[in-house]
């Protein structure tokens, strides 16, 4: 691998020249990473790659120069630049023929060295699917496994929340530039992930989350992982794209079955029919990884950053008296289910509450 710092910091003047070269590589090859990988394996430098790209970025992208708007955005959001040649680049990802030539990392880059398992599923997930995803993620994090997902609504968000609930490591891979969060309502979740893990993207600043970007994002999710667990997926689903990437990459695929004919489970049932391992509970995933489910222990995250607004305080007041289900809370607080769902999610991510197997919530007592 090429000499140089493991990660390049936009705010460090000593990194400026090398960083400029790699950002040119990112702009030129983000949509054709296989060309960059082929050249990098042959020993190409950033300057040689830039010449290979005919000294121009991909359509719709611009060259990032020191001090310009995009460079300042990297500094502001704290993103470090991780080139393919760096010793810190994840080995599992580097082996791919279409590995990203450049990753932008926010948070703790050391989590990229951990054992990783991807946990993905439907955005419009059922409550049972959400609960199981959170339970599996919590068990994985309690066993020291880093949970990887895409920070989307539904299963992805619950996967991250499950890991965060016991202060476990988690990685979110975005399909947009690093200066923003998609979906925007997950801004608080993203902040928690940066503190306990990392957010990755291969896209330059101010790249919008377009549909074509998500399949690219999904290959990173599977490529980082030694297994992909799909909790719920419809027939036309991004989660199935992640599973297909996993199969192409030699990564194990596991899936949660569901009722025959149920739209939310059609994709996972088809994965199982085609050979994916069956997951009925978190112990199945741990066992497949060679871990003893009985030896896994986890502690709730400390109650830090608990949302301080009226509805959150009212939820905590009700739960101080006794555990309650989502329906019981909605009735007691006379609030809309969608409003309550957001507050419950924020409280779970912050470590203020946790959900039990029966779907009831309780206050976390750890300080």
Least confident of 96-105, 199-208, 236-245: 236-245
- Average pLDDT value for residue range 19-48: 96
Residue 128: per-residue pLDDT: 87
- Higher local confidence (pLDDT), 188 or 367: 188
Are residues 128 and 241 both part of a single domain? yes
Are residues 173 and 215 both part of a single domain? yes
- Average pLDDT value for residue range 49-54: 95
Q: Is residue 208 part of a domain?
A: yes
Number of domains in the chain: 3
The CA-atom distances, in angstroms, between 28 and each of 23, 81, 92, 111, 217 are 9, 16, 23, 28, 17
- Average pLDDT value for residue range 12-36: 96
Q: Is residue 4 part of a domain?
A: no
- pLDDT above 90 covers a percentage of the chain that reads 71
* 241: exposed, middle or buried (Cβ count in 10 Å: 0-12, 13-18, 19+): buried
pTM: 0.86
C-alpha span between 159 and 172 (Å, rounded):
10
Are residues 218 and 357 both part of a single domain? no
Residue 185: per-residue pLDDT: 85
Are residues 278 and 141 both part of a single domain? yes
pLDDT bin (cut points 50, 70, 90) of residue 202 is very high
Three-state secondary-structure class, residue 94: helix
Question: Does residue 60 carry a pLDDT above 70?
Answer: yes
Least confident of 33-37, 125-129, 203-207, 300-304: 300-304
pLDDT bin (cut points 50, 70, 90) of residue 296 is low
User: Could you count the other beta carbons within 10 Å of the beta carbon of residue 262?
Assistant: 13
Closest by CA to 268, choosing from 173, 132, 96, 92, is: 132
Are residues 134 and 195 both part of a single domain? yes
Are residues 75 and 134 both part of a single domain? no
Q: Is residue 301 part of a domain?
A: no
Are residues 316 and 254 both part of a single domain? no
User: Could you count the other beta carbons within 10 Å of the beta carbon of residue 153?
Assistant: 16
Domain boundary among 269, 295, 321: 295
- Higher local confidence (pLDDT), 268 or 235: 268
Q: Is residue 82 part of a domain?
A: yes
Are residues 239 and 98 both part of a single domain? no
- Average pLDDT value for residue range 224-250: 95
Q: Is residue 305 part of a domain?
A: no
* 280: exposed, middle or buried (Cβ count in 10 Å: 0-12, 13-18, 19+): exposed
- pLDDT above 70 covers a percentage of the chain that reads 93
Domain boundary among 104, 120, 137: 104
Residue 361: per-residue pLDDT: 86
Residue 367: per-residue pLDDT: 34
Q: Is residue 8 part of a domain?
A: no
The CA-atom distances, in angstroms, between 205 and each of 49, 75, 202, 226, 347 are 20, 11, 10, 29, 30
Are residues 204 and 291 both part of a single domain? yes
Residue 302: per-residue pLDDT: 54
Question: Does residue 178 carry a pLDDT above 90?
Answer: yes
Q: Is residue 333 part of a domain?
A: yes
Q: Is residue 258 part of a domain?
A: yes
Residue 88: per-residue pLDDT: 95
Quickly count helices (H) and strands (E) in the chain. 15, 11
Are residues 147 and 23 both part of a single domain? no
pLDDT bin (cut points 50, 70, 90) of residue 336 is confident
Question: Does residue 301 carry a pLDDT above 60?
Answer: no
The CATH number given to whatever domain includes residue 335 is 1.10.10.10
Are residues 149 and 95 both part of a single domain? no
Helices assigned H by DSSP within the chain: 16-29, 33-41, 46-52, 69-77, 91-94, 127-142, 155-164, 187-196, 213-223, 238-249, 266-273, 282-288, 310-321, 326-333, 337-349
Structural domain harbouring 339: 310-363
Question: Does residue 241 carry a pLDDT above 60?
Answer: yes
Residue 162, φ and ψ in degrees, nearest 5? -60, -40
- Higher local confidence (pLDDT), 301 or 191: 191
Are residues 152 and 34 both part of a single domain? no
The CATH number given to whatever domain includes residue 217 is 3.40.50.450
Question: Does residue 79 carry a pLDDT above 50?
Answer: yes
Highest mean pLDDT among 74-88, 177-191, 338-352: 74-88
């Amino acid at each position: 691998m090429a000499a140089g710092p493991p990660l390049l910091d936009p705010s460090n003047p000593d990194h400026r020249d090398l960083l400029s070269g790699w950002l040119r590589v990112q702009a030129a090859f983000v949509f054709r990473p296989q060309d960059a990988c082929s050249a990098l394996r042959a020993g190409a430098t950033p300057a040689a790659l830039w010449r290979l790209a005919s000294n121009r970025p991909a359509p719709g992208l611009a060259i990032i120069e020191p001090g310009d708007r995009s460079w300042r955005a990297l500094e502001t959001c704290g993103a470090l630049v991780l080139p393919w040649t760096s010793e810190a680049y994840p080995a599992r990802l580097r082996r791919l023929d279409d590995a990203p030539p450049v990753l932008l990392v926010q948070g703790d880059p050391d989590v990229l060295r951990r054992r990783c398992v991807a946990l993905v599923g439907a955005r419009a997930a059922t409550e049972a699917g959400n609960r199981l995803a959170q339970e599996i993620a919590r068990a994985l994090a309690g066993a020291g496994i880093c949970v990887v997902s895409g920070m989307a609504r539904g299963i992805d968000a619950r996967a991250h929340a499950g890991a965060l609930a016991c202060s476990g490591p988690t990685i979110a891979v975005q399909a947009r530039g690093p200066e923003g969060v998609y979906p925007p309502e997950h801004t608080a979740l993203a902040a928690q992930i940066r503190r306990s893990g990392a957010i990755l993207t291969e896209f330059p600043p101010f790249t919008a989350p377009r549909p074509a970007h998500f399949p690219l994002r999904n290959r990173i999710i599977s490529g980082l992982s030694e297994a992909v667990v799909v909790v719920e997926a419809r027939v036309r689903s991004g989660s199935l794209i992640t599973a297909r990437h996993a199969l192409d990459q030699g990564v194990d695929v596991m899936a949660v079955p569901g009722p025959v004919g149920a739209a939310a489970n059609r994709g996972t049932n088809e994965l199982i029919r085609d050979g994916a391992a069956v997951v009925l509970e978190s112990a199945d995933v741990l066992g497949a990884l060679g871990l003893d489910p009985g030896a896994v222990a986890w502690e709730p995250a400390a109650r830090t950053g608990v949302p301080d607004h009226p509805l959150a305080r009212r939820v905590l007041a009700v739960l101080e008296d006794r555990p309650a289900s989502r329906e019981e809370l909605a009735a007691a607080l006379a609030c809309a289910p969608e409003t309550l769902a957001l507050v419950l999610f924020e409280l779970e991510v912050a470590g203020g509450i946790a959900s039990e197997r029966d779907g009831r919530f309780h206050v976390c007592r750890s300080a």
